[in-house]
Amino acid sequence: MTSRTQETHIAVSHTDPGLADKASALAAQLGLPLYRSEENTPALLLTLTPDRLELRQTGKGAEGPLFVDFIGGAIEYRRKQGTSRKEAIARAVGLKGGARPVVLDITAGLGRDSFILASLGCTVQMVERSPVVAALLADAIERARQEPALIEIMSRLSLIVGDSLDILRTWQGERPEVIYIDPMYPHRSKSALVKKEMRLIRQLVGDDEDSDQLLAAARAIATRRVVVKRPRLVPALRGPEPNFSIGGKNSRFDVYLSALTAASPEQKT
Ligand SMILES: C[S@@+](CC[C@H](N)C(=O)[O-])C[C@H]1O[C@@H](n2cnc3c(N)ncnc32)[C@H](O)[C@@H]1O
């Protein structure tokens, strides 16, 4: 199922009459209907508030709003604690010594992994194919760029809206050293391990059925390595075996070295 099919269950709304024009422009940009209270309420609302853009579930048992925030909350705590180059994600992308690889994150989602990598000094280009997820991300980027403490990190972070498979297959110009992939894994349960945010994103975009193809396309482009994030106990993506894996708390990072890197032992973790 494509993100475009699923996004028909969503409309754009706003909480403040002063945001009506902005909401209309956003709806037109995304090709989504504007929510009108007299109509049936869709399952999801992309809601403009004076502070930020939010994705809201409607109906009984609705989860709290989803928004992307690089300034406060968990990500601020993590940034202030200091993200360490010893962390699994840092070792997985090959951060050591002075190395700060250029990373293409081809499944950007809510941008948390990209933000962590940018905090560690990597230049990160994110790609997201869901226009709604990308709009949430773009809104957070715009807000974070106004925050003095984040100017340097945000200068290393950019976003492309599009399908990574198309982008990789028609790639031109300088190739990224590292390609990072964190596809949506088809969890069927409502387990606590599947965070609320990811449940909402899944409701919006569905499962990522093309992850195996993404891995193959990424391996053809990355000059150093491809890193695939997986839930800790699930099998690797279909294709060649990873060269090695690094375990995190709930996740595992499967690392596929490019031919050149594999031949040079000092380039491994
Ligand atoms: C599990 S989420 C990624 C979470 C992200 N690592 C984070 O830290 O927030 C997967 C995201 O990848 C996007 N995606 C999947 N396949 C894609 C593709 N071929 N091109 C672009 N985006 C893709 C999905 O729309 C979804 O938003």
Give the full edge-to-edge strand order of the sheet including 53-57: 10-14, 44-48, 53-57
pLDDT of residue 54: 97
| Per-residue pLDDT tens over the stretch 48-73 | 999 999 999 998 888 889 999 999 86
- Please tell me the distance between residue 156's alpha carbon and the centre of ligand 1 in angstroms: 19
Report yes or no: 129 and 110 within 8 Å, Cβ to Cβ: no
Reported confidence tier of residue 1, pLDDT bands at 50, 70, 90: very low
- Please tell me the distance between residue 184's alpha carbon and the centre of ligand 1 in angstroms: 7
What whole-number distance in Å separates Cα of residue 110 and Cα of residue 116?
12
Residue 6 has pLDDT above 80, yes or no: no
Reported confidence tier of residue 203, pLDDT bands at 50, 70, 90: confident
99-110: buried (b, 16+ CB within 10 Å) or exposed (e) per residue? ebbbbbbbbbbb
Give the residue, by CA position, lying nearest to ligand 1 atom 12. Answer: 107
Residues whose beta carbon lies within 6 Å of some atom of ligand 1: 3, 106-107, 109-113, 127-130, 133, 163-165, 182-184, 201, 205, 208, 210, 214
- Please tell me the distance between residue 176's alpha carbon and the centre of ligand 1 in angstroms: 18
